[in-house]
Every structure is written in structure tokens, then in C-alpha cells.
Amino acid sequence: MPALAECRVSGTSAAYGSQTSFVINSAVQTTTATLTLDCDSVLNVLNNDFVTLTLTGATTTSGTRATLGRSGDTTDRIPLQVCAQSGCPSGSELAINGNYRWTGQSLLNLLTSKRYTFPIYLRTLQGQNVAAGAYQVTLNFSVNYSICALGVAVCLTPQNGTTTFTSLVTLTVTNDCSTITAPNLNFASAPLVKDFAPVSQTIAITCTKGSAYTVGINNGNNAVGSVRNMASGANRLSYEIYKGNTTNRWGVSGTERWASASASQVSTDGLLKSYQYTARILATQNTPPAGSYTDTLVVDVAF
């Protein structure tokens, strides 16, 4: 009776690194884990040699797919495609309890000396609106193999077995803002500073779901101390910007910044937050000479 030779199975983890929430939402992310099969002896592959990989489960799932999730959170999930071929062509994806089999030439192409190396391709599905954080999933695999070590036409020394391994997949999602919409501010015209009406407008900002940040507006190009000024040549026209309908100045530092938790409005998905402000020409100043007065402000977001 022929002696049984042996193959040993090992697997690697996979990491996507860090990506912003908006990149995760808009683009497929790819990475690769590796299954390695080391055998005592390997002939040129016989027609009946095979290696079958089965995805038996995962720590977090949605339907028939594994998902990346955050510890302690049950809502934000990033579905994964687990595939035996690059690009996940039809027939190569492993759903939960699904499998893929390598045989013949496909096995031979993966053979180096006595080692088979099988890439496992991992792809995220785009369109996920998730919060920032550390995401991970452990994939559970079963490997069934039959590799001939000795024989001519008929295998005399088979290497058969079934074993398991796990692969940890990680992804760090970071905070970001995709858009800041800040319309130009126009006080129109008036003959005296006391005749300028206040202007109410809104700055809208789209940032990562659940992110906490503050919004600042700098003092512009012509400030005197902390008082904003529009300029027309050497002449100045002082104005200020206040949070909402209050007299709380909207500035660039400290408590003058506007916390996202106190936004005027929040969209249903939590991404878009609006900040309504009131701008006023300071009525206590002397009316400057007639002219076109301008200033440029910078809106910033800090996490």
C-alpha cells in the first residue's frame, strides 16, 4: 500500500490601509490575501489533481457576502467580494459556503517547486455611507486538496487532505469633507452705514457620516484687530458675521468656531450640514467715501 505524503496549508491577512469615507463610497478598493499549499513532493500536475477553496463563514456578513464592520457598531458595513481571480470575473467569487476549484493547467501555473501560491482577491463594493473608524472581518476558509506525489498515469502516492485557515482583513476609514458651499455675500448699496440691511445666508458642508468637526471663518484681508473690513483703496467699511440670528461672532479660533453638533440643519443621511449666519455692516462707524468695497474670507473645517 503506498505511503501517504502530506501538504501543509497557510494563509495571510490582508490590509487596505487608510481611505477617506468618500473614497470608500465612490470607488472599489482592492487588496489581496494569499493561500499557500506546501507539499512533500509534486509531479507535473495530473488531470485529477485539484485544490478547492471554500469560504465557510465570516465574523460579519450581509446576505451571502462577508462585510467589514466596526467593533461595537451594528449598522455600518462594507460588503466584500472574495474572489479567486483578479477583477472578480463571473464564476470566481466565493459567496458564504461557496467554493472555487483549481485543476490542471490552472494549478500548474501557480506551482513553484513544491509550493502552490493562490492569490485571494478582495474587493469592496462602492456606494457605502459609513462613519470613520477601524473596520475588519475575519474570513474562515476550508481547503480540500488532492495532489499526486508519485505515479505515472496512475497516482501511487496521493497527498489528500482537508484543513482550515483564517484571514484577517482590515481597513481604516478616515474623516473628510467633500464639499464646502459658501455663496458670495453682497450687502447691496446704501448711502449711509445705518441703511445697510443685514444679510442672512447659509454655508453648507458635506463631511463624513457621524464626524465631529468645527467650522471657522477667518478675519479676511483687511481686518483691524478682530474686526473685519471691506476695502476700497485706502478706505474701509467694517462688517461682522454672526452665528444664526445671534450676536455670537463666527470666527477662526476657540469658541468663535462653529461646532458641527450645533449645525442649523442636518440632512437625513447625516452628511450635509448647514450653517445659517447673519452678516451686518457695523452701524457705529462713520460712513466712508462712496465706492465698491470688497473682502475675501476663508472657510475652514477642522476635525
256-270 pLDDT, tens per residue? 999 999 999 999 999
Residue 210 in this model has a pLDDT that exceeds 60: yes
120-178 pLDDT, tens per residue? 999 999 999 999 999 999 999 999 998 876 655 566 677 889 999 999 999 999 999 99
3-state secondary structure 203-235: EEEEECCCCCCEEEECCCCCCECCEEEEEECCE
pLDDT at 154: 65
16-75 pLDDT, tens per residue? 999 999 999 999 999 999 999 998 776 555 668 899 999 999 999 999 999 999 988 889
Q: Which letter does DSSP use for residue 47 in this model?
A: T
State which of 174, 190, 214 marks the end of a domain. 174
Tell me, yes or no, whether 2 lies in a domain: no
Both 200 and 169 in one domain: the answer is no
- CATH code where residue 266 lies: 2.60.40.1090
Rg value, the chain, Cα: 31
- CATH code where residue 22 lies: 2.60.40.2040
154-174 and 14-20 as β-strands: parallel, antiparallel, unpaired? Answer: parallel
Both 15 and 138 in one domain: the answer is yes
With CA atoms as reference, report the closest residue to 190 among 281, 129, 255: 281
Both 21 and 159 in one domain: the answer is yes
Residue 112, CB half-sphere, CA atoms under 13 Å: how many? 3
Both 85 and 230 in one domain: the answer is no
- Residues whose CB is less than 8 angstroms from the CB of residue 114 and which lie 6 or more positions away in sequence, other chains included: 38, 39, 40, 41, 42
What is the DSSP track for 252-268?
SSGGGSEEGGG-SEE-T
Tell me, yes or no, whether 209 lies in a domain: yes
pLDDT band at 1 (very low <50, low <70, confident <90, very high): very low
Domain of residue 141, residue span: 7-174
| Average pLDDT over the chain, rounded to an integer | 93
177-195 pLDDT, tens per residue? 999 999 999 999 999 999 9
Both 98 and 111 in one domain: the answer is yes
